[in-house]
Amino acid sequence: MEPASVWKERWESATLPMARQYMELATQKQSLVCLAADRPTMKELNDLLDAVHPSIVALKTHVDMVDDWTPKGWGAFCKKANDLGLLIFEDRKFADIGKISEKQMLGLYDIASWSDLVTAHLISGPDIVDGLQAAWEGKGRIGGVLLLAQMSSRGNLLVPSYTTTVAEHGSKHPGVFGFIGNGSQPTGISELRALVGNSKLIWTPGINLATGDGAKGQRYGDPYEAVLSGSDCIIVGSGIHGKDDPAAAAAKYAETSWKGLLER
């Protein structure tokens, strides 16, 4: 299957080569799954990646949550993901002013050296995107920013007028890869898609086959409905790593997300 024929207007209108790279790999693997690899040790992270990689297209990390983090262990983990062709997405949710966000991409974790994508809030204004892009440029690398336009957690403060402003700014910025939308609410995803148009991707956390309320204010929506509503990637954490058989769970999410895309 050709990516252009499956992704249609999203493929035609994509502004970043990395977006097409994502759509191409998703088409090859028949999966729109980004694994939220929220495990606390390098062994668990490696075991999880080894088990589920055939069914995922991107690897989302929280580098500062790993108990036994070392530059060497992390380097090997990222190399494994790169060799598998996966995009590495550090969910750092940057929010500071541009020049500080640039420095936060370096430092101990040196996120600019291994990430392809990072998340950012636009609360401090549009220069944050330029700051993050400057860090990748400094390393001779290309990266993309996913702006939080909505969140999945209950009671979050990303009100509709804020979402609209983020979508307006982000849709025009060449450093923006796409947006984080609320996967637990299909109508919200459709509304975000209407604001964003086709030139950027929408990735959605808050996804689980068991829909409804999750732990500590998390909310979950159905993967198939999220994709039908306009999500281009479902971000799944505990729905995969919290299961006895993560590989089988990941395959299930891949199948339902791909079905959604074909029927969209």
- Phi, psi (rounded to 5 degrees) for 36: -85, 100
Of 93, 103, 200, 216, the catalytic one is 93
103 catalytic? Reply is no
Q: What is the DSSP string of 213-232?
A: E-GGG-EEB-HHHHHHTT-S
Give the residue, chosen from 151, 167, 250, 261, that forms a contact with ligand 6AU under the rule CB under 6 A: 151
> Regarding beta strands 117-120 and 219-220, do their DSSP bridges make them parallel or antiparallel, or are they unpaired?
unpaired
Cα(63)–Cα(167) distance, rounded to whole angstroms? 27
- The three-state secondary structure class of 61 is strand
Question: Does residue number 152 form part of the binding site for ligand 6AU (CB under 6 A)?
Answer: yes
Cα(252)–Cα(100) distance, rounded to whole angstroms? 40
Stretch 105-144: interaction string toward ligand 6AU, x if CB under 6 A = --------------x-------------------------
Q: Which residue stretch of 4-12, 45-53, 146-154, 256-264 sits at the interface with ligand 6AU (rule: CB under 6 A)?
A: 146-154
Question: Does residue number 91 form part of the binding site for ligand 6AU (CB under 6 A)?
Answer: yes
Task: Choose between 11 and 224: whose C-beta lies nearer to ligand 6AU.
Answer: 224
Q: Which residue stretch of 74-82, 130-138, 150-158, 247-255 sits at the interface with ligand 6AU (rule: CB under 6 A)?
A: 150-158
Scanning 8-149, the segments in alpha helix (DSSP H) are 9-13, 17-29, 42-52, 71-83, 98-104, 127-138
Give the residue, chosen from 98, 144, 230, 237, that forms a contact with ligand 6AU under the rule CB under 6 A: 237
Stretch 24-43: interaction string toward ligand 6AU, x if CB under 6 A = ------------x-x-----
Length of the chain: 264
- For residue 236, list its beta bridge partners: 35
Task: Choose between 11 and 251: whose C-beta lies nearer to ligand 6AU.
Answer: 251
Give the residue, chosen from 100, 238, 255, 264, that forms a contact with ligand 6AU under the rule CB under 6 A: 238
Question: Does residue number 45 form part of the binding site for ligand 6AU (CB under 6 A)?
Answer: no
Cα(189)–Cα(101) distance, rounded to whole angstroms? 28
CB 218 within 8 Å of CB 152: yes
Residues in the site for ligand 6AU, rule: CB under 6 A? 36, 38, 91, 119, 151-153, 180, 205-206, 214, 218, 235-239
